[in-house]
Structure 1
Amino acid sequence: MNGTATARATGSPTDTGGVNSALIALIVAVATIGGFMFGYDSGVINGTQKGIEAAFDLGRLGIGINVGAILVGSSVGAFAAGRLSDVIGRRNTMMLAAILFIVSALAAGAANSSLLFIIARIIGGFGVGAASVTSPVYISEVAPANIRGRLTSIQQVMIISGLTGAFVANFALARFAGGSTAEFWLGYQAWRWMFWLQVIPATIYFVALFFIPESPRYLVVKGHDARAEVVLTRLFGAAEARRKVAEIRSSLAVDHHKPRLSDLVDKTTGKIRPILWAGIGLAVFQQLVGINVVFYYGATLWEAVGFTEDNALQINILSGVLSIGACLLTITLIDRIGRKPLLLVGSAGMTVTLGIVAWAFSNAVPAVSGVGVTLPGNTGLIALVAANLYVIFFNVSWGPVMWVMLGEMFPTQIRGSALAVAGFAQWIANALISVSFPSLVLSPGLAFTYLGYAIAALVSFFFVRAAVTETRGRELEDMTG
């Protein structure tokens, strides 16, 4: 067997070319653990709310603040990580995020006051924000252009897997303990263990990051061309590595300097670059459609319309499984039909399904017990089906595609800075939707709240048509704007 054949058999590149599929698979697997932690840390709060409400004597506003605390940290973490990844590197930024996940999990479970809990969740938010922007851009910077979309989409699969993992863990702990507020192991309540379990995947994430290389594009930006060529040789072979280093260096040659926020302003017009506005719009609309209401408040929402806690937690698991299936479908489609068509289909589907959910909740009547409301006849089933169809439309489109596009749509020189701003905007929108929801349930009510999300989905359709440029198959060095 000659050298080229051996390389093909082992998945290693040679001097004549070839993609090291094994190394790329390892990189994607490790980097997307950050997505899993993003999902788990975001979703674990769903199912713990009875526990923190009782432990800290919280009202509706207090619940909103405690649930939304992670989002404050996430917005800061996303902004800081976008810039920090340009300074210390993509991999080191992900390592820092893993440490923050561990600290947050331990502190949130041990908190004996609302203030300490909020601080712990803000720390976790720093990690979530950092992982949310760093993982997809890292993957996009090492993946071949022809499969970059599907590899980056795995990030969303892992986010939903993390959410679903949190839902399953919460359900199991509540079932074994006899409720989320019941005592479990070592005399601590089950809701505290829901947070402590996060330490296991967070530790795995931290250790695994030692086994993957730094982003070659970051290394070229920092002037470490030789190191970048070593990484690219491992990925694509020596000849392709030399070509790519030259291509990256050429893309920076026109106006190369240390990346800074001022690069986001077009020097010829004095205005913010249009590509940044497009990125901010994608980031914000992904949240204005209300998806995290389902993931943060799912159990509370379904209990509010007559389901038991046990049933509500099972519905969460169903939503998570459907979300994973939808993301897997996206992986098969995104590099075939492109990003923009998926976004348009998702916007249209979410508009219809959210409208149906709003109609269903408009028929709610007071519960016989006098506490909460119920959905009469088949209305509850219609709401449940429509809500899960909405989750499917989101996760076949805006869920993964937004992160794919943020990771690849910006030119190399501004990628870190643009991600910082777009990521910050995404988490601010997330916080706005999530913190406002408990109050909106009371006034103007669920029907008008979901109608508002439906209107946002409709507007997002026209935004995509007007402002989003397809990036399928394009090399990162060819991105402009």
Structure 2
Amino acid sequence: MAGLNAEKDCNPSSQPPAEKTLADFDPPKKPKRNKFALVCAILASTTSILLGYDIGVMSGAAIYIKDQLKISDTQVEILVGMLNIYSLVGSAAAGRTSDWIGRRYTIVVAGGIFFVGALLMGFATNYAFLMVGRFVAGVGVGYGLMIAPVYTAEVSPASSRGFLTSLPDFFINAGILLGYVSNFAFSKLPAHLGWRFMLGIGAIPSFILAVIVLAMPESPRWLVLQGRLGEAKRVLDKTSNSKEEAQARLADIKVAAGIPQDCNDDVVQVVKKTHGEGVWRELLLHPTRSVRHILVCGIGIHFFQQASGVDAVVLYSPRIFEKAGITSDNGKLLATIAVGFVKTSFILVVTFLLDRVGRRSLLLSSLVGVIFSLAALGFSLTIIDHSHEKITWAVVLCITTVLTYVAFFSIGIGPVTWVYNSEIFPLRLRAQGASLGVAVNRVTSGVVSTTFISLYKGITIGGAFFLYMAIAMMAWIFIFIYLPETKGRTLENMEVLFGNFTEWRSALKESKLKERQESNGVETESNTQTQLAVSSVATTVA
């Protein structure tokens, strides 16, 4: 009997369930943010500074370029806006490049190309030479725009993916602010030197960033696709909140990549390496219903982000402030610095809300503020345009609504677009799918930025912003109907949300019910095994 008691003490399954304590009812502690993943995300996202700097610096440099090179308003439009069209080349190439050489080295390529472009613009002697430099810089910008969110999403744990994947947009806005500050700082130089320093100085951070990025690990999902499972496991161990999460993430990635679960780093030779072959066929020619829904969401959100007029406000803010009565160059440049400061501050705030509030709620609430800001901006500019004397309240309303517009844009539609597009595509389609979204983004941005001056001359500057307001209203309806919430889901578990278009809510309910049933099934099985063990011991004792 003593031996039996000893056996009962050593057998965990035979122990009676322990009494619950108050600690058992405490809510689970939120995992701490993984510092290694945070560093990787910051390093990758700093590439986005290059785009932001170019956008911000050109808004002020264009004032001096127009005077010195004696170019027309149409040429200014082309100079300012064509960077977005040129970046199509980079974003299209980046998808394939990142599948071939990896996400990390693609970021290095982005920095190197922009470095050459910045030097060419700084040493330009005429308009044609300047446009060549603009083209090269645009290709580098396209590379950076596509790869930074994809890399960040792939190294981030699900619990903090929203925060980390929003960092590229934060750095874009930080770059815009730096561009505005550069405008003001170098405006004190002689006219023929000031704009060259404004544009050429961008070569320095691009070189530094290209070198720093080499310290980053490669994306674990790309490593799995190449059959380098041992390396992928080591990266996941560092970028996950626990060993269990790392194992679960690796298992999910294997499933997404079509790799058997018993395949490990000792048998990687059985894994077929992939470099993105057949992806465009699966994306565009023969997409599944789920992929088709994902495409609609990814392309649609990128289109509406730019079509709501953000580049008209950011790139042409000096002209808007001139309309409002700020006529001195210093005054206009200081006002644009205020725009950059507000935009950057609010994007920093939203990075901490993405994993708490969710993508969908931020998008919808952001667009409400954008709509009202555009309405007020259009109204104030219309009043100013039709008045022969200065109307103080209209001027104050104009300046205020420019700031509220960039604030509301930066708490939702600005950063969330990049987060959402980087996480909804399946693993095998992610790089090319993300590049397609970036291409639409850049085309739309290019159209807005190259037509704004002509547009406001045709329908008045107030009418232009009323048009952007109408587009923002359509964006709110589109997002409300088609975009499901992705907060908290792993990248490999996204497809269950898509495929039903307007009926995604019912699919989400079914998914949650299935997860709950599976969880209850595991608990029931565990309880049954415990009861059987107890019954077996009781029978032995009897």
TM-score normalized with structure 2 length = 0.79
2: CA distance, partners of 1:312 / 1:29: 32
Return the match for 1:357 from 369, 377, 393: 377
- Say if 2:151 is the partner of 1:147: no
Q: 1:422-444 CA distances to partner (integer Å, 9 max, x unpaired)? A: 11000000001000011112111
1:83 deviates by 2.5
1:68 deviates by 1.6
Match of 1:206 in 2: 210
1: CA distance, partners of 2:80 / 2:357: 37
1: CA distance, partners of 2:59 / 2:235: 41
Pair 1:268–1:201, CA change in 2 (3 A): closer
Query: One-letter code of the match for 1:251?
Result: A
- Say if 2:302 is the partner of 1:283: yes
- Say if 2:415 is the partner of 1:400: yes
2: CA distance, partners of 1:66 / 1:254: 48
Q: Which moved more, 1:341-350 or 1:267-276?
A: 267-276
1:252 deviates by 2.1
Query: One-letter code of the match for 1:39?
Result: G
Query: One-letter code of the match for 2:477?
Result: F
Query: One-letter code of the match for 1:338?
Result: G
Return the match for 1:300 from 319, 340, 358: 319
Match of 2:251 in 1: 246
Query: One-letter code of the match for 1:411?
Result: P
1: CA distance, partners of 2:437 / 2:431: 10
User: The residue matched to 1:306 in structure 2 has which SS?
Assistant: coil
1: CA distance, partners of 2:198 / 2:330: 16
Match of 1:87 in 2: 100
Pair 1:322–1:79, CA change in 2 (3 A): same
Higher relative contact order (CA 8 A, sep 6+): 1
2: CA distance, partners of 1:223 / 1:142: 17
Pair 1:376–1:127, CA change in 2 (3 A): same
Match of 1:112 in 2: 125
2: CA distance, partners of 1:269 / 1:332: 34
1: CA distance, partners of 2:175 / 2:50: 6
Query: One-letter code of the match for 1:262?
Result: R
1:322 deviates by 0.9
Pair 1:334–1:117, CA change in 2 (3 A): same
1: CA distance, partners of 2:436 / 2:313: 25
Q: 1:320-357 CA distances to partner (integer Å, 9 max, x unpaired)? A: 11112211221221111100011001111111110011
1:57 deviates by 2.0
Q: 1:32-54 CA distances to partner (integer Å, 9 max, x unpaired)? A: 11121121122210111122213
Q: Which moved more, 1:260-269 or 1:200-209?
A: 260-269
Alignment of 1:312-351 (within 5 A): 312-351=332-371
2: CA distance, partners of 1:189 / 1:398: 37
Q: Which moved more, 1:63-72 or 1:298-307?
A: 298-307
- Say if 2:34 is the partner of 1:21: yes
Q: Report if the CA contact (8 A) 1:266-1:272 is conserved.
A: no
Q: Report if the CA contact (8 A) 1:83-1:420 is conserved.
A: no
User: The residue matched to 1:44 in structure 2 has which SS?
Assistant: helix
Question: RMSD of aligned C-alpha atoms?
Answer: 2.2
Pair 1:169–1:437, CA change in 2 (3 A): same
1:30 deviates by 0.9
- Say if 2:212 is the partner of 1:193: no
- Say if 2:223 is the partner of 1:219: yes
1: CA distance, partners of 2:68 / 2:102: 40
2: CA distance, partners of 1:42 / 1:340: 27
1: CA distance, partners of 2:114 / 2:210: 10
Q: Report if the CA contact (8 A) 2:87-2:140 is conserved.
A: yes
Q: Report if the CA contact (8 A) 2:37-2:155 is conserved.
A: yes
Q: 1:222-250 CA distances to partner (integer Å, 9 max, x unpaired)? A: 22212212222333366544443222011
Query: One-letter code of the match for 2:64?
Result: G
Match of 1:103 in 2: 116
Q: Which moved more, 1:89-98 or 1:188-197?
A: 188-197
1:315 deviates by 1.1
Query: One-letter code of the match for 1:246?
Result: A
Q: Which moved more, 1:425-434 or 1:59-68?
A: 59-68
1:135 deviates by 0.5
Q: Report if the CA contact (8 A) 1:164-1:321 is conserved.
A: yes
1: CA distance, partners of 2:239 / 2:306: 35
Return the match for 1:450 from 455, 465, 488: 465
User: The residue matched to 2:60 in structure 1 has which SS?
Assistant: coil
Q: Which moved more, 1:44-53 or 1:295-304?
A: 295-304
Q: Which moved more, 1:37-46 or 1:51-60?
A: 51-60
2: CA distance, partners of 1:79 / 1:268: 19
Query: One-letter code of the match for 1:387?
Result: V
User: The residue matched to 2:218 in structure 1 has which SS?
Assistant: coil
Match of 1:383 in 2: 398
Pair 1:165–1:362, CA change in 2 (3 A): same
Q: Report if the CA contact (8 A) 2:110-2:141 is conserved.
A: yes
Q: Which moved more, 1:312-321 or 1:231-240?
A: 231-240
- Where structure 2 has 5 or more consecutive residues not aligned to the other structure, the ranges are 1-30, 261-271, 499-542
User: The residue matched to 1:168 in structure 2 has which SS?
Assistant: helix
Q: Which moved more, 1:25-34 or 1:226-235?
A: 226-235
Pair 1:203–1:60, CA change in 2 (3 A): same
User: The residue matched to 1:214 in structure 2 has which SS?
Assistant: coil
Q: Report if the CA contact (8 A) 1:365-1:376 is conserved.
A: no
Pair 1:240–1:333, CA change in 2 (3 A): closer
1: CA distance, partners of 2:385 / 2:365: 33
1: CA distance, partners of 2:259 / 2:375: 49
- Say if 2:480 is the partner of 1:470: no
2: CA distance, partners of 1:171 / 1:439: 27
1:285 deviates by 0.3
User: The residue matched to 1:471 in structure 2 has which SS?
Assistant: coil
2: CA distance, partners of 1:122 / 1:171: 25
Q: 1:383-409 CA distances to partner (integer Å, 9 max, x unpaired)? A: 111111011000000111001111111
1:258 deviates by 4.8
Match of 1:36 in 2: 49
Pair 1:339–1:423, CA change in 2 (3 A): same
Return the match for 1:46 from 56, 59, 70: 59
Q: Which moved more, 1:80-89 or 1:261-270?
A: 261-270
Match of 2:514 in 1: none
Query: One-letter code of the match for 1:220?
Result: V
Q: Report if the CA contact (8 A) 1:82-1:133 is conserved.
A: yes
Which has the larger Rg?
Answer: 2
Q: Report if the CA contact (8 A) 1:362-1:446 is conserved.
A: yes
Number of residue pairs matched by the alignment? 450
1: CA distance, partners of 2:365 / 2:42: 28
Pair 1:229–1:155, CA change in 2 (3 A): same
Q: Which moved more, 1:67-76 or 1:297-306?
A: 297-306
Q: Report if the CA contact (8 A) 1:340-1:470 is conserved.
A: yes
User: The residue matched to 1:472 in structure 2 has which SS?
Assistant: coil
